[in-house]
Amino acid sequence: MKKTLVAIAALASVTAFAQSSVTISGLADLGYAQQKTYGDNTSAVLQGMSKTSTFKFAGTEDLGGGLNANFQFEVQPSYVAGNGNVTNANLQGTTVAAYANAAAVAGTAAQTAQSGLVGKGQSWLGLGSTAVGGIRFGTINTATLAAHANAAQALGTNVGSGYKEIGSEYTRYENSFAYSSPTINGLSGTFIRATGMDQVSGSTTTILLRRPEVNELGLAYDQGPVALRAVTLKSKTSPNEAATSANITTRVSTMSAKYDAGIVRLGAFSQNLTDDIATTPTKYKASMYTIEVPMGAFTFTGLTGVQKYTTLGAATSATKTIGDNKVTTLQAKYDLSKRTYVYLMNVNRTMNASTDWAKVIVNGAALAAAPTDPTIKTTGLGIVHNF
């Protein structure tokens, strides 16, 4: 009898374990790049030229009746720097504001780039159901990001993808919740709200977590070879900023499409942005096109994109100029296995719009004025391993 009870208990334990699972996944992307940034030559070992290096811890529990609890915790580690998630500012031409995790809008207090262990990734806890959809709370990727990735295809959001240069960076928001609908005949929708944080207090040495208030509605259609995305996003800076000009509402509309014909995959992206700065609002139109050609273990990808500015908001520097951002990319990758590939890419970027040149770091020093050559030319060879 005792043996029988032990066997029943063991079986119950195995059954309970089967209803709950935790997985670890991610990828590492590292390589060597040579780059000419605004006339200065640089070279370095980089990560993230093709994909974002990441560790993901994900779990789910079957609660019965089609309902499940789920979570994800994502960390984006740095393999090339010993001080955490630091971008290669010199090679990327990163601005001081972005490098120091300062606010994007002049007048706002400094923000974190997800403080502590979170490490810039998408992390959330939620409940899901195939019948009614799911809800998540945490730091959640936007549908705007998904729309860009849909068109960018294998280039994702990294060097050569046009992300941040062709279409602004609306990646994810802290302090947010999201609802995802069930998929019906290929059609699904998402709603994300970032609640913002406009009432904070602290000493002058404390980083104030001022965040924008964001509402985003996204629609997706996936049926056979066709994948379509349509997104509208509204972002409002903290309404309690001291400078009235810093209280800005920005509206972004994004559409993308991808068609997989087997022998070739085509992608297209379009984005319009406008804000309500009273004097000179920022307005632009961005467009991007990609083509992928798989040939056995090889995949060849080409991208061309442009972001055309109609007007440009008040500059924080007199050197800020109007112009068009342009990106062209060629990438060849070769699959060594189902999880590992090597790649060679060549990227040409022209950055002479919305760039505050006084805040751009090149070889450790900020530029005093717009450079004679506003281009970034990158040639990189790297390895990606998925696990």
Beta pairing class for 361-362 and 249-260? unpaired
Q: 195-233 pLDDT, tens per residue? A: 876 655 555 444 455 678 899 999 999 999 999 999 999
pLDDT of residue 293 exceeding 50: yes
CA distance 347 to 275: 30
Residue 376 sits at φ, ψ, to 5 deg, of: -125, 120
Residues with Cβ within 8 Å of 119's Cβ and at least 6 positions away in sequence, in order, are 74, 75, 76, 77, 84, 85
From CA 179, how far away is CA 169, in angstroms rounded?
21
Nearest to 230 by CA among 290, 193, 274, 270: 270
The string of pLDDT tens digits covering residues 296-337 is 999 999 999 998 888 776 544 444 556 688 999 999 999 999
Q: What is the pTM of this model?
A: 0.80
- Domains of the chain in start order, with CATH, are 26-386 (2.40.160.10)
- What is the C-alpha to C-alpha distance for residues 172 and 192, in angstroms, rounded to an integer? 10
Angle made by CA atoms 168, 174, 176, in degrees to the nearest 5:
105
Asked whether the beta carbons of 196 and 173 are under 8 A apart, the reply is: no
Task: Give me the pLDDT at residue 49, please.
Answer: 87
Are 187 and 169 spatial neighbours (Cβ–Cβ below 8 Å)? no
Split at pLDDT 50, 70, 90, the class of 71 is very high
Give the model's confidence band at 358: pLDDT under 50 very low, under 70 low, under 90 confident, else very high.
low
Query: Which percentage of the chain shows pLDDT scores above 70?
Result: 71
Q: Which residues of 210-241 are buried (b: 16+ CB within 10 A; e: fewer)?
A: bbbbbebebbbeeeeeebbbbbbbebbbbeeb
Radius of gyration of the chain (CA): 23
pLDDT digit string, tens, across residues 116-143:
444 578 999 999 998 899 999 999 999 9
- What's the mean pLDDT in 278-302? 91
User: By mean pLDDT, which of 26-40, 171-185, 275-289, 314-328 is the weakest?
Assistant: 314-328
pLDDT band at 3 (very low <50, low <70, confident <90, very high): very low
Distance, CA of 200 to CA of 112 (rounded, Å): 14
Closest among 10, 9, 50 to 32, alpha carbons compared = 50
